[in-house]
């Protein structure tokens, strides 16, 4: 199979799809709308999991696991929540199959469930029903729980990683004695996500609040981090929700405070998903393949030997063995590709496609000169350096590559935030340039919805610490006190 991919300038959507498949991140499955995450892609997700999981535990959270199936009656207890997810729910109605008279497998109508089960689209309802038995007193609070799980949201149009019927994620669900504590938790987890996005994914994000139209179903307030992809579209990279007492009241979760007074607890939920894999690809990669930040790359360094005789390979192998030991002490992963079934040129192209941050080429002449050739994936530059102190040089380079990838994405993001004051300019820039458009809005859901219908652009967020300035709504001309960020989005 050809490893070349279409240019992202020619067809960004096709470029993304080809890159995900040809770099061995994932592929379409036999189940419509679902994907197979391949080992190379899953190893990136494992690194994301490990980093986030530690961040969660460092902030006092513990992991648990809750059922995949949720009784349908649970959803009806929180009206806005069921309305928000009703169209995406997969429903289990029967628990058995049988053979009919023709030998065909059919649903056994005698095995109909007394109550239908929803396949988990999100876990607020099953978790809050459980919390009722866990929380009685202020001594049980705060309750800080995270779950790593899969969820199902029925989708008509799917794209690998970005929108699939089943995807992987984590969902945090916490309970608190006061609204202030819950709001502080919501903001803390937003900052955890932003830290992870910027320092691991090398992805600059804007922290902000969602409008009422874009808020999570059942939340009083939704905070988000928004990122910009190379095609000028925004991507919501994570959300953190202040749920108030809505779910506690729906599931009767009360606690006795220090004065022995009963009250409903205050709740949050927050999550990120394998959509971050899509963000990672779209934010950094190029026409030659993936560009992976070293912190998340499954292979951080690959060594390709160039030799003619076994003796030359043996000498190179001995050197690489020592280098591997040195790098392992620094928690740097190295792959020694000594396959004799592929030529070095093929290997160079393969690891470029897979986004390996640093390639080391060593030939017999390098061994004589005690040098190696280093090739960076981010800048595609090469240099010949001494073998002496190579491990330290690689360690420094990987950090430099991580920072360079972030700075490049930051520069692109900042150059694509545009102040807009008229609706005509707004529509023109959406078509010509995209990016984040910073514009005044009159604060009404009606105006927001009309702009969305007419332009396919949504308010991505109201940035935190947004400067207040008087202006006029780009659509209605009504007074506005601040700009908000619009964009077309994934």
In the chain, DSSP finds a helix count (H) and a strand count (E) of: 14, 26
pLDDT tens profile 107-126: 999 999 999 999 999 999 99
pLDDT for the residue 75: 87
- CA 22 centroid distance within chain: 20
pLDDT tens profile 175-185: 999 999 999 99
pLDDT tens profile 81-98: 878 888 999 999 999 999
Instruction: Give 20's pLDDT tier (boundaries 50, 70, 90).
Output: very high
Question: 423 and 471: one domain?
Answer: yes
pLDDT for the residue 244: 98
Q: Domain span at residue 468?
A: 417-487
| Average pLDDT of span 48-71 | 98
Structure tokens at 382: 């090469």
pLDDT tens profile 125-157: 999 999 999 999 999 999 999 999 999 999 888
Share of the chain above pLDDT 90, in %: 95
* H/E stretch holding 20: helix 12-22
pLDDT for the residue 84: 81
CATH number (domain holding residue 33):
3.30.930.10
Q: Does residue 187 contact residue 225 with C-beta atoms inside 8 Å?
A: no
pLDDT tens profile 34-43: 999 999 999 9
CATH number (domain holding residue 473):
3.30.110.30
Is residue 109 one of the residues assigned to a domain? no
Share of the chain above pLDDT 70, in %: 99
Question: 481 and 334: one domain?
Answer: no
pTM of the model: 0.95
Q: Which of 260, 364, 254 is nearest to 319 (CA)?
A: 364
Beta 143-152 vs 62-63: how paired, if at all?
parallel
What is the average pLDDT value for the chain, to the nearest integer? Answer: 96
pLDDT tens profile 333-356: 999 999 999 999 999 999 999 999
pLDDT for the residue 3: 64
* Burial state string for 393-428 with b = 16 or more CB within 10 A and e = fewer than 16: bbbebbeebbebbbebbeebbeebeeebeebeebbe
pLDDT for the residue 80: 79
Instruction: Give 1's pLDDT tier (boundaries 50, 70, 90).
Output: very low
Question: 230 and 367: one domain?
Answer: no
Q: Does residue 3 contact residue 350 with C-beta atoms inside 8 Å?
A: yes
Neighbours of 317 (CB within 10 A): 16
Overall domain count for the chain = 3
Strand partners, 483: 440
Answer yes or no: is pLDDT of 223 > 60.
yes
Question: 346 and 228: one domain?
Answer: no
Neighbours of 34 (CB within 10 A): 15
**C-alpha span between 265 and 4 (Å, rounded):** 55
Q: Does residue 60 contact residue 75 with C-beta atoms inside 8 Å?
A: no
């Amino acid at each position: 199979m050809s490893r070349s991919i279409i240019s992202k300038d020619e067809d960004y959507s096709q470029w993304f799809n080809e890159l995900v498949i040809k770099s061995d991140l994932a592929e379409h499955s036999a189940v419509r709308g679902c994907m197979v995450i391949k080992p190379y892609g899953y190893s990136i997700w494992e690194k994301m999991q490990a980093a986030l999981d530690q961040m969660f535990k460092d902030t006092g959270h513990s992991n648990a696991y809750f059922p995949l199936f949720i009784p349908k009656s649970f959803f009806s207890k929180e009206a806005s929540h069921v309305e928000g997810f009703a169209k995406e729910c997969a429903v289990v109605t029967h628990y058995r199959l049988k053979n009919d008279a023709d030998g065909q497998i059919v649903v056994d109508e005698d095995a109909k469930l007394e109550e239908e089960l929803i396949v988990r689209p999100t876990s607020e309802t099953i978790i809050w029903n459980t919390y009722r038995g866990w929380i009685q007193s202020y001594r049980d609070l705060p309750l800080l729980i995270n779950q790593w799980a899969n969820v199902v949201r029925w989708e008509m149009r799917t794209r690998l990683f970005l929108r699939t019927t089943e995807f992987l994620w984590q969902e945090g669900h916490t309970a608190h004695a006061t609204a202030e504590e819950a709001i502080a938790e919501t903001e803390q987890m937003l900052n955890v996500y932003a830290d992870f996005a910027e320092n691991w994914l090398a992805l600059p994000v804007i922290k902000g609040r969602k409008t009422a139209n874009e808020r999570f179903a059942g939340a009083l307030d939704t905070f988000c981090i928004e990122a910009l992809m190379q095609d000028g579209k925004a991507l919501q990279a994570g959300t953190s929700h202040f749920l108030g007492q809505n779910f506690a009241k729906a599931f009767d979760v009360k606690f006795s405070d220090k004065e022995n007074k009963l009250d409903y607890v205050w709740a949050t939920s927050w999550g990120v998903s394998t959509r971050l894999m899509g963000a990672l690809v779209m934010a950094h990669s190029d026409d030659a393949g993936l560009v992976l930040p070293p912190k998340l790359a499954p292979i951080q360094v690959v060594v390709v030997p160039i030799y003619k005789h076994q003796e030359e390979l043996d000498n190179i192998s001995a050197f690489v063995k020592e280098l591997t030991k040195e790098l392992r002490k620094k928690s740097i992963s190295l792959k020694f590709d000594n396959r004799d079934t592929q030529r070095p040129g093929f290997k160079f192209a393969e690891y470029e496609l897979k986004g390996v941050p640093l390639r080391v080429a060593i030939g017999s002449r390098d061994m004589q000169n005690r040098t190696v050739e280093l090739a960076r994936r981010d800048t595609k530059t090469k240099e010949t350096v001494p073998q002496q102190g190579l491990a330290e040089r690689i360690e420094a380079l990987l950090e430099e590559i991580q920072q360079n990838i972030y700075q490049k994405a930051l520069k692109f993001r900042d150059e694509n935030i545009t102040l807009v004051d008229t609706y005509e300019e707004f529509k023109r820039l959406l078509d010509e340039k995209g990016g984040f458009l910073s514009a005044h809005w009159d604060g009404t859901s009606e105006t927001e919805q009309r702009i969305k219908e007419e332009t396919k652009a949504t308010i991505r967020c109201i940035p935190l610490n947004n400067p207040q300035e008087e202006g006029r709504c780009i659509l209605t001309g009504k007074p506005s006190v601040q700009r908000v960020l619009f964009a077309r989005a994934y």
